[in-house]
Amino acid sequence: MRVPEANNILITGASSGIGQALALAYAAPGVTLHLSGRDTKRTESVAQACRDRGADARPRVIDVTEAAAMAAWIAEADAATPLDLVIANAGVSNSTSGAGGDAEKARLIFRTNVGGVVNTVLPAIDAMKPRGRGQIALIASIAGFRGLPTSSAYSASKAAVKNWGEALRGELWQTGLRVNVVCPGWVTSRITDANKFPMPMLMQADKAAGIIKRGLARDKARIVFPWPMHLGVWLLSLLPPAWTDPILIRGMKDKEW
């Protein structure tokens, strides 16, 4: 089933990576884009690139971990242009959190990747539910299918996002809202630029954005790519940990998502 074309879109984490690529993919005349990021220069640069494609781009520098600020921004955006699509994309990885010790890094990952998504999705539901229509996409990860050594907090945070989004889809179905979960593998970004290890099937951000956009247009419940990695993590989740732990521990040594 296809969903109505989205003209008013809000994207968090739009200053780089998948968020930036999605903003550019949706940018077109007649489209309003509400874009958030934490870096003023990068966020405005993406907004200007979207304007160059004919879109009305409205950047906002905001931290997704701040619940009150996020609720106010989303309510303001929806009042200006009733939102058709909200993409909860902002997140951090193990290697780019910027935190000091492991404990604080883990807390920051959960605060951003889970708390930030919650702070985006709940106000979006409040805005869309009275209208009985709207679409919400949660960006999880293939890493959320199975806990990965050296990426424990990241894997767990993305598993939480994946499971919450899948549950919300059924919970909100009767309201007319559509919820979709996106689980990408490695995609080019500032995050992957910092990685010093091989990343199998690394995908360009614009290609990933195209897959996501097509999947959302078709209202796919779960958008997972690339398919060989999807198959691999699915098999890992089915096999006994006694079999898979030794393989993962050896294979993931000195690697982070």
Q: Are 103 and 91 in contact (CB under 8 A)?
A: no
Strand partners of residue 32? 8, 56
CA-based nearest residue to 36, from 79, 87, 93, 78: 87
Catalytic: 26?
A: no
Of 154, 164, 186, 257, the catalytic one is 154
- At 120, is the secondary structure helix, strand, or coil? helix
Torsion of CA 92, 124, 203, 144, to 10 degrees: 60
| Measured distance CA(149)–CA(249) in Å, rounded | 6
Sheet containing 85-88, strands listed edge to edge, beginning at the edge strand earlier in sequence: 56-61, 32-37, 8-11, 85-88, 134-139, 177-184, 222-225
CA-based nearest residue to 140, from 155, 152, 151: 155
Hey, which residues are catalytic here? 154
